[in-house]
Chains A and B, each alone.
Chain A
């Protein structure tokens, strides 16, 4: 990809988030899509490309009345939307469409019109993991952590600090689900879920939608919004079975995706002003910091505990409060991207002053895939 060849010109979340029992899942897609188009002054008739996940792409096409010439139904979990951004850049560069819409909607909490996205998307999971009593993500995503703690010295207090620091960021956001301050003790005395994981180390479950509109950079100045250019991106996948990760202390998909993103963007870690790391659970920002190369092995926990990712710290991380405090519909990647776009537009309620480069990194499934996007507000072409 050519850095900055494509820009995000429209971005919006659903009108309501959290508990939205009066909208079905498909309506959350539509509400967010219409909001994102309003954001950039376009209409559904302008859209000729559509990508979505967790919902059949043709279902969304028909519901919105689109006539696309590019359709992408890549569904590799909650990072699918980062992957869609990368695919949309390729499609727009290749002329497969001119205006690409990426939608997400999920009735994760109210379960209204929710498609039964399989708890176990793989037959191997059904045969070789499910019989051992694993069900919801807290019983699987968490499995590598004790090994991580033994190998790298990561502590429970450091894990708890992830949730504490992100709550500090959430306090800035009127749309965050939880905004009251919490302490390490609060986290470590909350309800036990999957020992060593307690409730406040696990993500929320909410109803929410989000959408992005992308087009070639040469059109991007025609819109009312400040263009946010896609400077680089990466993607990878490793395994649908968490038990089969090659290394419990590091995600191969994270490493491959992150390296591609940084290389394609032509940036170093020192260039990054703002960072989002999909935090379905408190350990993911630690894996992300290490696997993306912001810190060395074993340094992720101490880095957060020392306050570097807090408000005022040198690497603002998950400035919306993340999946732990902001929103988490089930596929959170869209909301990490939304906050990166807000930061690059300079309109986040937790704005990082002067931020020019934002990285949004997503995970899919239980460490099964990854997508990384580098955004900038500076024109590259």
Chain B
């Protein structure tokens, strides 16, 4: 089986991957307007400002949409969940939902999720999501 696809760290994304390795989900926010955005870049795509700061995300999100992938993928055993989550900060990210069966019974849109990190290499810990503990209580 081919190896799982790994991200390449670039100067613009170092903060993100450093954060993930340290167990912290980092986003960027422009100073003039407070626009939070993803994926990383050296300016705000909404206002063009280069005056930006790295912030720590809350780690809370909701399940925005998903498929259950029955096709082969390097490093994965089908079926598995490919999802898009919407973070509390308003940005979306691709994800696999960990800790649940890949079934429509176990997955409900807008269910609360919390971030976790999947170590793929010495360098890369991938942000992932799992059902929020105590959700629905």
Q: Which residues of A contact B (CB under 8 A)?
A: 123-124, 126-136, 138-140, 142-147, 150, 192-197, 241-244, 248
> B75 interface residue, CB < 8 Å from A?
yes
Chain B residues lying within 8 Å of A138, measured Cβ to Cβ, are: 71
Looking at chain B's contact residues, is the secondary structure mostly helix, strand, loop, or mixed?
loop
The smallest beta-carbon distance between A143 and chain B, in angstroms, is 6
Q: Mark interface residues in B43-67 (1 if CB within 8 Å of A CB, else 0).
A: 0000000000000000000001111
Cβ of A194 and Cβ of B70 under 8 Å apart?
A: yes
User: What are 28 A-B residue pairs whose CB atoms fall within 8 Å in the complex?
Assistant: A124-B39, A126-B7, A127-B10, A127-B39, A128-B7, A128-B38, A128-B39, A129-B94, A130-B5, A133-B4, A133-B73, A133-B96, A134-B94, A135-B73, A139-B69, A139-B71, A140-B82, A143-B66, A143-B84, A146-B66, A147-B109, A194-B67, A194-B71, A194-B82, A195-B104, A197-B67, A241-B39, A241-B94
Q: How far is the CA of A243 from the CA of B85 in the complex (A)?
A: 9
- In the bound complex, what is the Cα–Cα distance between A124 and B84 (angstroms)? 15
CB neighbours (8 Å) of B126 from chain A are 131-132
A73 to B111, CA, bound (A): 44
Cβ 8 A contact of A131, one of B7, B64, B67, B70: B7
Please report the C-alpha to C-alpha distance between residue A126 and residue B4 in the assembled complex, in whole angstroms.
11
> Contact partner of B93 among A136, A192, A196, A243, CB < 8 A?
A243
The answer on a CB contact under 8 Å between A126 and B70 is no
B8 at the interface (CB under 8 A from A): yes
Whether the Cβ atoms of A147 and B65 lie closer than 8 Å is yes
In the assembled complex, which residues on chain A have CB atoms less than 8 Å from the CB atom of B72?
135
Cβ B79 vs Cβ A195 within 8 A:
yes
Contact at B82–A143, with CB atoms within 8 Å? yes
Q: Which residue of B lies closest to A144 (CB)?
A: B65
Contacts of A192 in B (CB 8 A): 70
**Cβ 8 A contact of B65, one of A127, A130, A131, A248:** A248
Chain B residue numbers with a CB within 8 Å of A129 are 94
User: Is B35 in the interface zone, CB < 8 Å from A?
Assistant: no
CB atoms of B96 and A143 under 8 A apart: no
Give complex CA distance A143, B70 in Å: 13
* Top 7 A-B pairs, shortest CB-CB distance: A195-B68, A147-B65, A130-B5, A127-B7, A133-B73, A133-B76, A243-B94
CA distance A303 to B8 in the complex (A): 45
> Judging by beta carbons under 8 Å apart, are A132 and B96 in contact?
yes
Q: Give the B interface residue count (CB, 8 A).
A: 37
On whether A146 and B67 interact (CB within 8 A), knowing A124-B39, A128-B93, A243-B84, the answer reads yes
**B95 near A: Cβ within 8 Å?**
yes
Asked whether B93 lies within 8 Å of A194 as measured between CB atoms, the reply is: no
Instruction: For the complex, give the distance between the alpha carbons of A144 and B64 in Å.
Output: 9
Instruction: Give CA–CA (A63, B38) in the complex, Å.
Output: 42
Bound-state CA distance A40–B6 (Å) is: 51
Which of A124, A136, A146 contacts B109 (CB under 8 A)?
A146
- The complex places the Cα of A243 from the Cα of B92 at a distance, in Å, of 7
Q: Closest residue of chain B to A127, judged by CB? A: B7
User: Which one of B6, B76, B84, B104 has the highest number of Cβ atoms from chain A below 10 Å of its Cβ?
Assistant: B84
Minimal Cβ-Cβ distance residue in B for A148: B65
Distance in angstroms from A244 CB to nearest chain B CB is 6
Distance between Cα atoms of A67 and B40 in the complex (Å): 43
A127 near B8: Cβ-Cβ < 8 Å: yes
Cβ–Cβ contact A128 & B94, under 8 A: yes
Residues from chain A with Cβ under 8 Å of B120 in the complex: 131
Contacts of B7 in A (CB 8 A): 126-128, 130-131
CB distance from A142 to the nearest CB of B (A): 5
The answer to whether residues A194 and B94 also contact, given A131-B4, A131-B5 and a CB cut-off of 8 A, is: no
Q: A127-B10, A142-B67, A248-B64 are known; give 18 further A-B pairs, CB within 8 A.
A: A123-B8, A127-B7, A128-B38, A128-B39, A128-B93, A130-B5, A130-B7, A131-B4, A135-B74, A138-B71, A139-B67, A143-B65, A143-B66, A145-B67, A146-B66, A146-B67, A243-B93, A244-B92
Q: Does B116 contact A (CB under 8 A)?
A: no
Nearest Cβ on chain A to B94's Cβ, whole angstroms: 4
Task: Kindly state the separation between the CA atoms of A120 and B84 in the bound complex, as whole angstroms.
Answer: 17
Q: What is the minimal beta-carbon distance from B43 to any residue of chain A, in angstroms?
A: 15
Whether the pair B109, A143 counts as a contact (CB closer than 8 A) is: no
Given that A146-B109, A243-B84 are contacting pairs, would A136 and B5 also be in contact in the complex, using a CB cutoff of 8 Å?
Answer: no
Task: List residues of chain B with CB within 8 A of the CB of A133.
Answer: 4, 69, 73-76, 80, 82, 96
**B107 → A minimal CB distance (Å):** 9
Please report the C-alpha to C-alpha distance between residue A147 and residue B85 in the assembled complex, in whole angstroms: 11
Residues 81 to 129 of chain B near chain A (Cβ within 8 Å): 82-84, 92-96, 104, 109, 120, 124, 126
B70, closest chain A residue (CB): A192
CA distance in complex: A142, B79 (Å): 15
